[in-house]
Chain A
Amino acid sequence: MSETIESERQTADDPMLAVSNLTKTFSGITAVDGVSFDVQEGEMTGLIGPNGAGKSTTFNCITNLVEPGEGEVVFDGEDITGMQTHDIARDGLVRTFQIARELREMTVLENMMVSPKDQTETALAAVLPGMRNSVRKEEQVMVEQAWETLDFFEIDHLAYEFAGTLSGGQRKLLELARALMADPDMVLLDEPFAGVNPTLEDRLLDRLHELTDQGYTFLIVEHDIDLIMNNCVDVIVMHQGRLLAEGPPSTVRNDERVVDAYLGGEVAE
Protein backbone atom coordinates (compact mmCIF):
# COMPACT_ATOMS: atom_id res chain seq x y z
CA MET A 1 0.00 0.00 0.00
CA SER A 2 2.77 2.33 0.94
CA GLU A 3 4.38 1.89 -2.47
CA THR A 4 1.38 3.36 -4.29
CA ILE A 5 1.34 6.37 -2.02
CA GLU A 6 5.02 6.85 -2.57
CA SER A 7 4.74 6.76 -6.36
CA GLU A 8 1.97 9.35 -6.26
CA ARG A 9 4.22 11.64 -4.30
CA GLN A 10 7.13 11.63 -6.75
CA THR A 11 8.16 15.20 -7.30
CA ALA A 12 10.41 16.84 -9.80
CA ASP A 13 13.09 18.38 -7.57
CA ASP A 14 15.45 16.26 -5.52
CA PRO A 15 14.34 15.84 -1.92
CA MET A 16 16.55 16.91 0.98
CA LEU A 17 16.07 13.56 2.66
CA ALA A 18 14.93 10.43 0.88
CA VAL A 19 14.20 7.34 2.94
CA SER A 20 13.39 4.19 1.03
CA ASN A 21 12.28 0.80 2.28
CA LEU A 22 13.71 1.37 5.77
CA THR A 23 13.30 -1.74 7.94
CA LYS A 24 14.40 -2.44 11.49
CA THR A 25 13.73 -5.60 13.46
CA PHE A 26 14.37 -5.99 17.18
CA SER A 27 14.56 -9.70 18.08
CA GLY A 28 11.62 -10.69 15.93
CA ILE A 29 9.53 -7.56 16.37
CA THR A 30 9.50 -5.35 13.31
CA ALA A 31 9.61 -1.78 14.62
CA VAL A 32 9.98 -0.15 11.22
CA ASP A 33 8.62 -2.04 8.23
CA GLY A 34 9.63 -0.94 4.75
CA VAL A 35 9.07 2.77 5.29
CA SER A 36 9.75 5.17 2.40
CA PHE A 37 9.25 8.92 2.36
CA ASP A 38 10.83 12.15 1.11
CA VAL A 39 11.38 15.44 2.87
CA GLN A 40 11.60 18.52 0.67
CA GLU A 41 14.23 21.17 1.21
CA GLY A 42 13.23 24.31 3.10
CA GLU A 43 10.04 22.79 4.41
CA MET A 44 8.68 21.75 7.74
CA THR A 45 7.50 18.15 7.53
CA GLY A 46 5.59 16.41 10.28
CA LEU A 47 5.86 12.74 11.21
CA ILE A 48 2.91 11.57 13.28
CA GLY A 49 1.60 8.28 14.55
CA PRO A 50 0.40 6.68 17.76
CA ASN A 51 2.77 5.34 20.41
CA GLY A 52 4.84 2.46 19.11
CA ALA A 53 4.34 3.45 15.48
CA GLY A 54 8.11 3.41 14.97
CA LYS A 55 8.71 7.15 14.68
CA SER A 56 11.64 7.35 17.07
CA THR A 57 13.17 4.18 15.66
CA THR A 58 12.93 5.72 12.20
CA PHE A 59 14.88 8.73 13.52
CA ASN A 60 17.44 6.46 15.14
CA CYS A 61 17.90 4.52 11.92
CA ILE A 62 18.28 7.67 9.82
CA THR A 63 21.09 8.94 12.07
CA ASN A 64 22.45 5.41 12.62
CA LEU A 65 22.20 5.57 16.39
CA VAL A 66 20.45 2.29 15.74
CA GLU A 67 21.80 0.38 12.80
CA PRO A 68 19.11 0.10 10.10
CA GLY A 69 18.38 -3.47 9.04
CA GLU A 70 17.43 -2.78 5.45
CA GLY A 71 16.75 0.19 3.27
CA GLU A 72 18.49 3.31 2.12
CA VAL A 73 18.79 6.84 3.46
CA VAL A 74 19.88 9.57 1.06
CA PHE A 75 20.60 13.01 2.46
CA ASP A 76 21.22 15.92 0.11
CA GLY A 77 22.07 13.54 -2.73
CA GLU A 78 24.50 11.46 -0.64
CA ASP A 79 23.86 7.92 0.53
CA ILE A 80 24.31 8.09 4.30
CA THR A 81 22.94 4.65 5.16
CA GLY A 82 25.00 3.14 7.94
CA MET A 83 27.41 6.07 8.09
CA GLN A 84 28.81 6.95 11.53
CA THR A 85 26.41 9.13 13.51
CA HIS A 86 28.98 11.88 13.94
CA ASP A 87 29.79 11.94 10.24
CA ILE A 88 26.09 12.28 9.42
CA ALA A 89 25.90 15.23 11.82
CA ARG A 90 28.94 16.79 10.18
CA ASP A 91 27.25 16.41 6.81
CA GLY A 92 24.53 18.70 8.11
CA LEU A 93 21.84 16.34 9.41
CA VAL A 94 21.51 16.92 13.15
CA ARG A 95 18.91 15.42 15.44
CA THR A 96 17.45 16.25 18.83
CA PHE A 97 16.08 13.78 21.34
CA GLN A 98 12.61 13.04 22.66
CA ILE A 99 13.74 13.55 26.22
CA ALA A 100 15.92 16.66 26.07
CA ARG A 101 19.52 15.53 26.46
CA GLU A 102 21.07 18.64 27.93
CA LEU A 103 24.59 18.23 29.29
CA ARG A 104 23.51 18.76 32.88
CA GLU A 105 26.74 19.65 34.59
CA MET A 106 27.75 22.15 31.95
CA THR A 107 26.41 25.67 31.69
CA VAL A 108 24.02 26.65 28.92
CA LEU A 109 26.82 28.56 27.20
CA GLU A 110 29.17 25.57 27.45
CA ASN A 111 26.42 23.39 25.99
CA MET A 112 26.24 25.77 23.04
CA MET A 113 30.00 25.76 22.59
CA VAL A 114 30.14 21.98 22.25
CA SER A 115 28.37 22.00 18.87
CA PRO A 116 30.41 23.98 16.32
CA LYS A 117 31.92 21.40 14.04
CA ASP A 118 34.93 23.25 12.70
CA GLN A 119 36.53 23.95 16.06
CA THR A 120 40.07 22.79 16.74
CA GLU A 121 39.59 20.19 19.40
CA THR A 122 42.91 18.35 19.37
CA ALA A 123 44.82 17.82 22.60
CA LEU A 124 47.96 19.34 21.12
CA ALA A 125 46.24 22.60 20.19
CA ALA A 126 44.97 22.87 23.76
CA VAL A 127 48.46 22.64 25.23
CA LEU A 128 50.92 24.32 22.84
CA PRO A 129 51.17 28.10 23.39
CA GLY A 130 50.98 29.27 19.77
CA MET A 131 48.17 26.95 18.78
CA ARG A 132 46.26 27.73 21.95
CA ASN A 133 46.16 31.38 20.95
CA SER A 134 44.49 30.62 17.65
CA VAL A 135 42.04 28.33 19.48
CA ARG A 136 41.25 31.32 21.72
CA LYS A 137 40.48 33.52 18.73
CA GLU A 138 38.32 30.78 17.26
CA GLU A 139 36.42 30.48 20.51
CA GLN A 140 35.84 34.21 20.74
CA VAL A 141 33.97 34.04 17.44
CA MET A 142 32.05 31.00 18.63
CA VAL A 143 31.00 32.66 21.88
CA GLU A 144 29.60 35.59 19.94
CA GLN A 145 27.61 33.23 17.73
CA ALA A 146 26.43 31.30 20.78
CA TRP A 147 25.14 34.49 22.39
CA GLU A 148 23.31 35.50 19.23
CA THR A 149 21.66 32.10 18.97
CA LEU A 150 20.64 32.28 22.63
CA ASP A 151 19.17 35.73 21.91
CA PHE A 152 17.20 34.30 19.02
CA PHE A 153 15.56 31.76 21.34
CA GLU A 154 15.27 34.32 24.14
CA ILE A 155 17.19 32.18 26.60
CA ASP A 156 20.26 34.41 26.83
CA HIS A 157 19.41 35.19 30.45
CA LEU A 158 20.09 31.52 31.25
CA ALA A 159 23.58 31.45 29.73
CA TYR A 160 25.45 30.98 33.02
CA GLU A 161 23.00 28.47 34.51
CA PHE A 162 23.83 24.79 34.65
CA ALA A 163 21.72 23.09 32.00
CA GLY A 164 20.44 20.61 34.58
CA THR A 165 18.56 23.39 36.38
CA LEU A 166 16.47 24.47 33.37
CA SER A 167 12.75 23.77 33.07
CA GLY A 168 11.48 21.22 30.56
CA GLY A 169 10.55 23.85 28.01
CA GLN A 170 13.82 25.73 28.37
CA ARG A 171 15.69 22.49 27.80
CA LYS A 172 13.86 21.97 24.52
CA LEU A 173 14.81 25.47 23.43
CA LEU A 174 18.42 24.84 24.45
CA GLU A 175 18.46 21.57 22.58
CA LEU A 176 17.30 23.23 19.37
CA ALA A 177 19.68 26.15 19.85
CA ARG A 178 22.55 23.74 20.41
CA ALA A 179 21.60 21.77 17.30
CA LEU A 180 21.68 24.99 15.27
CA MET A 181 25.19 25.76 16.56
CA ALA A 182 26.32 22.61 14.71
CA ASP A 183 25.51 24.45 11.47
CA PRO A 184 23.03 21.92 10.06
CA ASP A 185 21.06 21.99 6.82
CA MET A 186 18.35 19.84 8.27
CA VAL A 187 17.26 19.10 11.84
CA LEU A 188 15.31 16.06 12.99
CA LEU A 189 13.20 17.10 15.98
CA ASP A 190 11.93 14.29 18.19
CA GLU A 191 8.84 15.58 20.00
CA PRO A 192 10.09 19.12 20.53
CA PHE A 193 6.79 20.22 22.06
CA ALA A 194 6.35 17.46 24.64
CA GLY A 195 6.14 18.94 28.12
CA VAL A 196 6.47 22.50 26.87
CA ASN A 197 4.01 25.10 28.20
CA PRO A 198 1.82 26.93 25.66
CA THR A 199 3.80 30.18 25.80
CA LEU A 200 7.11 28.47 25.09
CA GLU A 201 5.39 26.28 22.51
CA ASP A 202 4.31 29.39 20.59
CA ARG A 203 7.80 30.81 20.81
CA LEU A 204 9.34 27.56 19.61
CA LEU A 205 6.88 27.36 16.67
CA ASP A 206 7.60 30.96 15.81
CA ARG A 207 11.30 30.31 15.66
CA LEU A 208 10.85 27.13 13.63
CA HIS A 209 8.85 29.05 11.01
CA GLU A 210 11.45 31.79 10.94
CA LEU A 211 14.27 29.27 10.50
CA THR A 212 12.33 27.48 7.76
CA ASP A 213 12.03 30.79 5.96
CA GLN A 214 15.79 31.13 6.24
CA GLY A 215 16.18 27.83 4.39
CA TYR A 216 16.48 25.22 7.12
CA THR A 217 14.65 21.91 6.67
CA PHE A 218 12.85 20.28 9.59
CA LEU A 219 11.36 16.87 10.14
CA ILE A 220 9.28 16.90 13.31
CA VAL A 221 7.96 13.90 15.23
CA GLU A 222 4.94 14.94 17.24
CA HIS A 223 1.93 13.54 19.06
CA ASP A 224 -0.19 16.66 18.79
CA ILE A 225 -1.90 16.16 15.41
CA ASP A 226 -3.49 19.59 15.24
CA LEU A 227 -0.16 21.25 15.82
CA ILE A 228 1.41 19.33 12.94
CA MET A 229 -1.59 19.80 10.64
CA ASN A 230 -1.59 23.55 11.25
CA ASN A 231 2.13 24.12 10.83
CA CYS A 232 3.59 21.59 8.43
CA VAL A 233 3.50 21.63 4.64
CA ASP A 234 3.76 17.87 4.42
CA VAL A 235 2.66 15.21 6.85
CA ILE A 236 3.83 11.60 7.11
CA VAL A 237 1.68 9.18 9.09
CA MET A 238 3.08 5.97 10.53
CA HIS A 239 1.19 3.12 12.15
CA GLN A 240 2.60 -0.09 13.57
CA GLY A 241 5.91 0.39 11.83
CA ARG A 242 4.39 1.06 8.42
CA LEU A 243 3.84 4.18 6.42
CA LEU A 244 0.13 4.88 6.36
CA ALA A 245 -0.14 8.11 4.43
CA GLU A 246 1.97 10.94 3.15
CA GLY A 247 0.91 14.29 1.76
CA PRO A 248 -0.36 17.78 2.58
CA PRO A 249 -2.45 18.05 5.78
CA SER A 250 -5.73 18.42 3.86
CA THR A 251 -5.19 15.11 2.06
CA VAL A 252 -3.95 13.25 5.10
CA ARG A 253 -6.73 14.56 7.31
CA ASN A 254 -9.35 13.04 5.02
CA ASP A 255 -7.55 9.77 4.45
CA GLU A 256 -9.85 6.99 5.62
CA ARG A 257 -7.07 4.77 6.88
CA VAL A 258 -5.58 7.57 8.95
CA VAL A 259 -8.93 8.39 10.46
CA ASP A 260 -9.54 4.71 11.26
CA ALA A 261 -6.15 3.66 12.49
CA TYR A 262 -4.93 6.75 14.19
CA LEU A 263 -7.45 9.47 14.79
CA GLY A 264 -10.19 6.99 15.61
CA GLY A 265 -7.96 5.01 17.91
CA GLU A 266 -6.81 8.12 19.71
CA VAL A 267 -10.34 9.29 20.41
CA ALA A 268 -11.42 5.86 21.56
CA GLU A 269 -8.72 5.98 24.28
Chain B
Amino acid sequence: MGHLSPEVLADARRLVDLYPEPRSALIPICHLAQGQDGWLRPEAIAEIAEIVGVSPAEVLGTASFYDMLRTEETGRYLVSVCTNVACMLQGAYELLDHAEQRLGVKAGGTTEDGMFTLEDAECLAGCDDAPCVQVNHRYVGHLDADGFDALVDDLRLGRRDDEIPRHGVLVRVRRETGLTVSADEVSAERARQREADEAVARQAETGAAGAAKGAGA
Protein backbone atom coordinates (compact mmCIF):
# COMPACT_ATOMS: atom_id res chain seq x y z
CA MET B 1 0.00 0.00 0.00
CA GLY B 2 0.99 3.56 -0.49
CA HIS B 3 2.48 3.12 -3.91
CA LEU B 4 -0.11 5.18 -5.73
CA SER B 5 0.11 8.87 -4.90
CA PRO B 6 -2.70 10.41 -2.85
CA GLU B 7 -3.98 12.23 -5.95
CA VAL B 8 -4.06 9.08 -8.06
CA LEU B 9 -5.69 7.19 -5.23
CA ALA B 10 -8.39 9.85 -4.88
CA ASP B 11 -9.01 9.75 -8.66
CA ALA B 12 -9.19 5.97 -8.53
CA ARG B 13 -11.83 6.04 -5.81
CA ARG B 14 -13.85 8.56 -7.79
CA LEU B 15 -13.71 6.22 -10.79
CA VAL B 16 -15.04 3.34 -8.71
CA ASP B 17 -18.03 5.45 -7.76
CA LEU B 18 -19.02 5.96 -11.41
CA TYR B 19 -19.97 2.34 -11.98
CA PRO B 20 -22.65 0.03 -10.63
CA GLU B 21 -19.87 -2.43 -9.76
CA PRO B 22 -16.33 -1.53 -8.64
CA ARG B 23 -14.59 -3.96 -10.96
CA SER B 24 -15.67 -1.86 -13.95
CA ALA B 25 -13.12 0.73 -12.83
CA LEU B 26 -10.25 -1.76 -13.13
CA ILE B 27 -9.08 -0.74 -16.60
CA PRO B 28 -9.51 3.03 -16.10
CA ILE B 29 -7.50 2.78 -12.87
CA CYS B 30 -4.77 0.88 -14.72
CA HIS B 31 -4.57 3.87 -17.08
CA LEU B 32 -4.17 6.14 -14.04
CA ALA B 33 -1.40 3.97 -12.64
CA GLN B 34 0.38 4.07 -15.99
CA GLY B 35 0.08 7.83 -15.91
CA GLN B 36 2.05 7.76 -12.67
CA ASP B 37 4.66 5.06 -13.41
CA GLY B 38 4.66 4.59 -17.19
CA TRP B 39 3.73 0.91 -16.77
CA LEU B 40 1.91 -1.36 -14.32
CA ARG B 41 4.32 -2.04 -11.48
CA PRO B 42 3.49 -5.05 -9.26
CA GLU B 43 2.96 -2.68 -6.32
CA ALA B 44 0.39 -0.77 -8.37
CA ILE B 45 -1.34 -3.97 -9.39
CA ALA B 46 -1.64 -5.04 -5.76
CA GLU B 47 -3.15 -1.70 -4.84
CA ILE B 48 -5.58 -1.69 -7.77
CA ALA B 49 -6.70 -5.17 -6.73
CA GLU B 50 -7.51 -3.88 -3.28
CA ILE B 51 -9.38 -0.84 -4.61
CA VAL B 52 -11.69 -2.83 -6.89
CA GLY B 53 -11.95 -5.86 -4.62
CA VAL B 54 -10.33 -8.63 -6.65
CA SER B 55 -7.03 -10.52 -6.34
CA PRO B 56 -3.80 -9.16 -7.85
CA ALA B 57 -3.74 -12.20 -10.14
CA GLU B 58 -7.10 -11.14 -11.56
CA VAL B 59 -5.85 -7.62 -12.23
CA LEU B 60 -2.75 -8.97 -13.95
CA GLY B 61 -4.79 -11.57 -15.83
CA THR B 62 -7.11 -8.87 -17.12
CA ALA B 63 -4.40 -6.32 -17.85
CA SER B 64 -2.28 -8.80 -19.80
CA PHE B 65 -5.13 -9.19 -22.30
CA TYR B 66 -4.85 -5.56 -23.39
CA ASP B 67 -2.10 -4.12 -25.60
CA MET B 68 -2.12 -0.73 -23.94
CA LEU B 69 -1.70 -2.05 -20.41
CA ARG B 70 2.03 -2.57 -20.02
CA THR B 71 3.17 -5.20 -17.58
CA GLU B 72 6.85 -4.60 -18.35
CA GLU B 73 8.95 -1.52 -17.98
CA THR B 74 8.20 0.83 -20.87
CA GLY B 75 10.08 3.80 -22.25
CA ARG B 76 9.11 7.34 -21.41
CA TYR B 77 7.75 7.55 -24.96
CA LEU B 78 5.90 4.67 -26.53
CA VAL B 79 6.27 5.09 -30.28
CA SER B 80 3.62 3.13 -32.18
CA VAL B 81 4.07 2.75 -35.93
CA CYS B 82 0.99 1.33 -37.61
CA THR B 83 1.83 -1.26 -40.27
CA ASN B 84 -1.70 -2.39 -41.05
CA VAL B 85 -2.91 -2.51 -44.61
CA ALA B 86 -3.64 1.16 -45.39
CA CYS B 87 -0.37 2.30 -43.84
CA MET B 88 1.55 -0.59 -45.36
CA LEU B 89 0.52 0.66 -48.81
CA GLN B 90 2.05 4.03 -47.94
CA GLY B 91 5.40 2.74 -46.76
CA ALA B 92 4.82 1.87 -43.10
CA TYR B 93 7.28 -1.03 -43.06
CA GLU B 94 9.99 1.16 -44.55
CA LEU B 95 9.28 3.72 -41.84
CA LEU B 96 9.40 1.01 -39.17
CA ASP B 97 12.78 -0.18 -40.50
CA HIS B 98 14.05 3.35 -40.30
CA ALA B 99 12.73 3.75 -36.76
CA GLU B 100 14.44 0.53 -35.69
CA GLN B 101 17.74 1.76 -37.05
CA ARG B 102 17.43 5.23 -35.67
CA LEU B 103 16.46 4.07 -32.17
CA GLY B 104 18.71 1.02 -32.24
CA VAL B 105 15.98 -1.36 -31.07
CA LYS B 106 13.71 -3.85 -32.77
CA ALA B 107 9.93 -3.34 -32.63
CA GLY B 108 8.89 -4.35 -29.12
CA GLY B 109 12.16 -3.17 -27.61
CA THR B 110 13.08 -0.26 -25.34
CA THR B 111 16.15 1.93 -25.73
CA GLU B 112 18.83 1.53 -23.08
CA ASP B 113 18.28 5.01 -21.71
CA GLY B 114 14.63 4.18 -21.11
CA MET B 115 13.46 6.98 -23.40
CA PHE B 116 11.73 5.07 -26.18
CA THR B 117 9.77 1.87 -26.62
CA LEU B 118 9.08 1.08 -30.26
CA GLU B 119 5.96 -0.83 -31.29
CA ASP B 120 4.69 -2.35 -34.55
CA ALA B 121 1.03 -1.38 -34.11
CA GLU B 122 -2.29 -2.42 -35.57
CA CYS B 123 -4.55 0.13 -37.25
CA LEU B 124 -4.70 3.33 -35.20
CA ALA B 125 -7.70 4.75 -37.06
CA GLY B 126 -5.59 7.43 -38.68
CA CYS B 127 -5.39 5.75 -42.09
CA ASP B 128 -6.01 8.98 -44.02
CA ASP B 129 -2.70 10.20 -42.60
CA ALA B 130 -0.73 7.07 -43.48
CA PRO B 131 1.78 5.95 -42.42
CA CYS B 132 0.25 6.73 -39.05
CA VAL B 133 2.36 7.11 -35.91
CA GLN B 134 1.35 7.75 -32.31
CA VAL B 135 3.55 8.68 -29.37
CA ASN B 136 1.99 7.84 -26.01
CA HIS B 137 -1.19 7.48 -28.04
CA ARG B 138 -1.12 11.02 -29.40
CA TYR B 139 -1.14 11.32 -33.17
CA VAL B 140 1.99 12.97 -34.51
CA GLY B 141 0.85 13.15 -38.11
CA HIS B 142 2.10 11.58 -41.27
CA LEU B 143 5.87 10.99 -41.08
CA ASP B 144 8.69 10.24 -43.46
CA ALA B 145 12.20 9.28 -42.32
CA ASP B 146 13.29 12.89 -41.82
CA GLY B 147 10.12 13.71 -39.98
CA PHE B 148 10.72 10.75 -37.73
CA ASP B 149 14.23 11.91 -36.90
CA ALA B 150 12.99 15.40 -36.12
CA LEU B 151 10.34 13.93 -33.86
CA VAL B 152 12.89 11.89 -31.94
CA ASP B 153 15.09 14.95 -31.47
CA ASP B 154 12.15 17.02 -30.28
CA LEU B 155 11.09 14.36 -27.81
CA ARG B 156 14.60 13.97 -26.41
CA LEU B 157 14.80 17.72 -25.85
CA GLY B 158 11.37 17.84 -24.25
CA ARG B 159 10.07 20.16 -26.97
CA ARG B 160 6.75 18.36 -27.29
CA ASP B 161 5.94 17.83 -23.64
CA ASP B 162 2.80 19.95 -23.80
CA GLU B 163 1.34 18.04 -26.66
CA ILE B 164 2.54 14.61 -25.60
CA PRO B 165 2.21 14.03 -21.87
CA ARG B 166 3.35 10.87 -20.11
CA HIS B 167 1.63 7.51 -20.34
CA GLY B 168 -1.92 6.93 -19.25
CA VAL B 169 -4.80 8.35 -21.19
CA LEU B 170 -6.54 9.94 -18.20
CA VAL B 171 -3.76 12.26 -17.13
CA ARG B 172 -4.94 15.66 -18.33
CA VAL B 173 -8.70 15.89 -18.17
CA ARG B 174 -10.70 14.35 -15.39
CA ARG B 175 -14.34 14.11 -14.68
CA GLU B 176 -15.36 17.15 -12.68
CA THR B 177 -18.21 15.65 -10.73
CA GLY B 178 -19.26 12.21 -9.71
CA LEU B 179 -22.62 10.84 -10.76
CA THR B 180 -25.37 13.34 -10.13
CA VAL B 181 -28.36 11.04 -9.77
CA SER B 182 -28.61 8.02 -7.53
CA ALA B 183 -29.80 4.72 -8.93
CA ASP B 184 -32.88 4.89 -6.65
CA GLU B 185 -33.84 8.29 -7.97
CA VAL B 186 -33.49 7.11 -11.54
CA SER B 187 -35.61 4.02 -10.93
CA ALA B 188 -38.33 6.08 -9.30
CA GLU B 189 -38.30 8.45 -12.27
CA ARG B 190 -38.44 5.61 -14.79
CA ALA B 191 -41.33 3.99 -12.92
CA ARG B 192 -43.30 7.24 -13.10
CA GLN B 193 -42.62 7.51 -16.83
CA ARG B 194 -43.71 3.91 -17.34
CA GLU B 195 -47.00 4.54 -15.58
CA ALA B 196 -47.58 7.62 -17.71
CA ASP B 197 -46.84 5.65 -20.89
CA GLU B 198 -49.17 2.85 -19.85
CA ALA B 199 -51.94 5.30 -19.04
CA VAL B 200 -51.58 6.80 -22.52
CA ALA B 201 -51.64 3.34 -24.08
CA ARG B 202 -54.75 2.35 -22.11
CA GLN B 203 -56.47 5.52 -23.13
CA ALA B 204 -55.62 4.93 -26.78
CA GLU B 205 -56.99 1.39 -26.49
CA THR B 206 -60.27 2.31 -24.84
CA GLY B 207 -60.55 5.24 -27.21
CA ALA B 208 -60.10 2.93 -30.19
CA ALA B 209 -62.53 0.38 -28.71
CA GLY B 210 -65.04 3.17 -28.13
CA ALA B 211 -64.65 4.36 -31.69
CA ALA B 212 -65.10 0.82 -32.99
CA LYS B 213 -68.26 0.41 -30.94
CA GLY B 214 -69.49 3.73 -32.17
CA ALA B 215 -68.93 2.67 -35.74
CA GLY B 216 -70.75 -0.63 -35.18
CA ALA B 217 -73.83 0.98 -33.65
Q: Do A and B bind each other?
A: no
Q: Interface on B for A, CB 8 Å cutoff?
A: none
